[in-house]
Each structure stands twice: as structure tokens, then as C-alpha cells.
Amino acid sequence: MNTRNAVSELCELVIRVEPSAARECELDCIVELRLASGDVDLGDETCEISISKLTLSLALEGATPVPGSRFGEPRRQPTSEMDRVVTQGNDVATAFKASAKANLDITGPTLGSSASGQVEASVRRETVLTTHDRLVHHRVKAMPNLRWEVREADDSQLDGTYLESDSLVRFTRTERANRTAVLARATVKQRDVTIGNVVRDPISWRYFKRFSTTQRRLLDIFIAKSIDSALRGSGKYVGEITLSSANIELPDEE
């Protein structure tokens, strides 16, 4: 196994492959993942770096993942509960018109009167649909293409052990494959990295007051410490930082 933790203060990634206890001829990819915020030396400054979201990805060579074996795969229910509430209200508007008149003619007094009234009524019906969904947050959530998103429910900084000898996925060897290998990578997006200062002496404080203009330079140094810079060489940075990588090449079957 070859493991490289470029920024060990922030990320520790360990993988191993073991025979599956669930089924014969299947293999478990066992993963340990620990994350923390930490002090990292960036050039002449010591900065505190924290991460709010990380992507763990696997690449299988000469192997096929077993359906339904991925860790942290919440299944959406095929049906959804919904309550139907019907609210009925009565809107009544009334109008009444009345008139009266008295007439006196030569034959004697006569009194004539007339009255009219009108009542209007309307009925309002309102239907309210209420759904009930139980929301469960998975800190390690399966994504397409053998990727897992590591994130807290409130997007706070990642800190703690997120995988501890857990089977991330089961897989089988591909027939007639020249080799069987597993590559795991822990990467973060630039937007999910927060850099703050630790030392608050007057010189450093003046330095970090210009943080908005120096953030790009600090990130460049941070990226240079990652494995991704070595893989890219002088290539263009595309917004992704590799914190750790690990690969295992399995021996040939006997």
C-alpha cells in the first residue's frame, strides 16, 4: 500500500482490502478517514486552515463494484406520505333594500308601501396537502461515480473521525484483468477551505489585515504543499486540492 498525506495536520486517509465477510469471492475496501482543523506553515506565516466539505473518491482498476454495497447510500423511498386536509368556509354577504311611500288622493288617505330584500351566500373550499418527510443527514454520503461527500449538516468545519475501518464498497475482480488496483483520493474545493491567522503579534496582524489581497498567495502555497501540485507539474490549477491519496495493488489470485 502506498499512502501520501500531503497535509497531515488536516487529513489522514488509510485504505486496505480484505476478503468480505458478507459473500465469498468479494472484497471489502476498508477505509479510515480523520479530519481536523490545524496550524499549517504557509511561507513565513503560520495559519489555521479548516475545511467544510471534502470529497472521497475511489478508482477501481480490474475490479467491479458490487451493487448495493456502498457506504452511506440513503435510499429514497418509492412512496411519500401525504395528508389531505380540506378546509371549508362560508362567506355570507347580505343586502337588504326597503322603500315605503304614502299617497293621499281626493278619495281619502291611502298608504302604500313596498319592500324588497336580497341575500347572497357563497361557499369557499380550500385543499391543503401536507407531506411528511424524515430528514436524516449522512456525514459521509454516497455520490455517483464512486464518490462520497463528507460534510456536516450545518456546513461547519470538519473535525473528527468520519470513517473508522468501515467498508466503503465491496467489489469483485474482473476476469482476465492484467492487474487489480484501488486508488483513493481525498480532495477539497478551494471555496471549501478557510484560512485564518494564528499568531497575532503586531507584524502578523498587519499582514493579515491585508488578507483579502493575500488570500490567493496563501492558497497557492497551500496547493503547492498538496499532492495535486506534484501530479500537475506546471499544469494549470483547476480549483481542486488533493489532501491525501492512497493506492493498493492486489497480488494475483492463486
Domain ranges of the chain: 2-76+135-250, 81-132
Whole-number pLDDT of residue 102:
46
Whole-number pLDDT of residue 104:
44
The structure's pTM equals 0.71
DSSP H or E run through 119: strand 108-132
Give the pLDDT band of residue 99 (cuts 50, 70, 90).
very low
Whole-number pLDDT of residue 253:
76
Among residues 51, 85, 48, the alpha carbon closest in space to that of 158 is found at 51
Cell 456525514 identifies what position? 139
Among residues 241, 140, 142, the alpha carbon closest in space to that of 193 is found at 241
Q: Is 212 helix (H, G, I), strand (E, B) or coil?
A: helix
Among residues 49, 87, 76, 193, the alpha carbon closest in space to that of 136 is found at 76
Residue 98: pLDDT over 50: no
Give the pLDDT band of residue 41 (cuts 50, 70, 90).
confident
Percent of the chain with pLDDT over 90: 40
Pairing of strands 147-151, 38-42: unpaired
Q: How many Å apart are CA 112 and CA 4, to the nearest integer?
A: 108
Q: How many CA atoms lie within 13 A of 232 on its CB side?
A: 16
Give, in order, the Cα–Cα distances in Å from 30 to each of 18, 162, 167, 240.
7, 13, 4, 25
